[in-house]
């Protein structure tokens, strides 16, 4: 009987490190998969437009830490919202910093091409293009309006929000407030239609 117990103890000592190592490997694989899932969501999101290119992602047991640099506060919020919506993420630690204003580059041609592709209108003035770009970023930073269901037109610094999106009247009001908060906007014309969440 004593000999049997001794053999069982020896077997436990031999296989215990292997089991611990296997458990550690499982966590490592899960963490790596989660990092890749967040990174893929960044790449797939239409509204990031490269804004998350310098964001670093780390994961540990479902907790995702974001670091690195982005150009605006809106980009920081957008990165967090995308990561938070990723399956398997339990919480977010957002350590992203905002780059110096001189580091932010505005590509008017790219912005106009983006608007044209999406059936949106931008006036001939360069300020209209800048306002369009910032309004888009502000809107998608909100959780309730994160999907591209709101279309933005900017002419003579007047912003029109249009389209139908699934959400709440609160989300609509947040989108309007976000557009109004952009520097240089004269007025916001609300043509949004809200469909109730089913």
Domain boundaries, the chain: 2-98, 106-195
Check for a shared fold between 2-98 and 106-195: no
What is the pLDDT, as a whole number, of residue 53?
82
What is the pLDDT, as a whole number, of residue 142?
65
What is the pLDDT, as a whole number, of residue 22?
39
The answer to whether residue 51 scores a pLDDT higher than 90 is: no
pLDDT, mean of residues 93-120: 82
CA torsion angle for 19, 25, 27, 32 (degrees, to 10)?
Answer: -170
Token pair belonging to 124:
């001939």
Give the helix ranges, DSSP H, for 85-152. Answer: 108-117, 126-140
User: What fold characterizes domain 106-195?
Assistant: Alpha-Beta Plaits (3.30.70)
What is the pLDDT, as a whole number, of residue 66?
94
User: What fold characterizes domain 2-98?
Assistant: GMP Synthetase; Chain A, domain 3 (3.30.300)
Which of 14-23, 97-106, 181-190 holds the top average pLDDT? 181-190
Per DSSP, 97 falls in state E
The answer to whether residue 6 scores a pLDDT higher than 70 is: no
Q: How does residue 24 score in pLDDT terms, banded at 50, 70 and 90?
A: very low
Please give the model's pTM, rounded to 2 decimal places: 0.51
The answer to whether residue 86 scores a pLDDT higher than 50 is: yes
CB of 141 closer than 8 Å to CB of 77: yes
CB of 55 closer than 8 Å to CB of 70: yes
């Amino acid at each position: 009987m004593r000999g049997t117990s001794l053999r069982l103890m020896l077997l436990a000592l031999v296989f215990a490190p292997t089991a611990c190592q296997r458990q550690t490997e499982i966590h490592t694989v899960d963490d790596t998969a989660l990092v890749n899932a967040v990174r893929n969501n960044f790449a797939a999101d239409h509204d990031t437009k490269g804004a998350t290119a310098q964001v670093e992602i780390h994961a540990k047991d479902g907790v995702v830490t974001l670091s690195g640099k982005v150009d605006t506060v809106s980009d920081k919020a957008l990165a967090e919202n995308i990561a938070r919506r990723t399956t398997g993420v339990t919480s977010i630690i957002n350590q992203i910093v905002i780059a110096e204003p001189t580091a932010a580059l505005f590509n008017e041609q790219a912005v106009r091409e983006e608007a044209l592709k999406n059936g949106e209108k931008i006036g001939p003035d360069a300020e209209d293009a800048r306002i369009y770009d910032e309004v888009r970023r502000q809107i998608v930073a909100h959780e309730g309006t994160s999907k591209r269901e709101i279309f933005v037109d900017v002419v003579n610094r007047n912003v029109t929000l249009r389209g139908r999106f699934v959400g709440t009247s609160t989300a609509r009001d947040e989108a309007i407030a976000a557009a109004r908060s952009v520097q240089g906007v004269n007025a916001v014309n609300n043509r949004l239609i809200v469909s109730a969440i089913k």
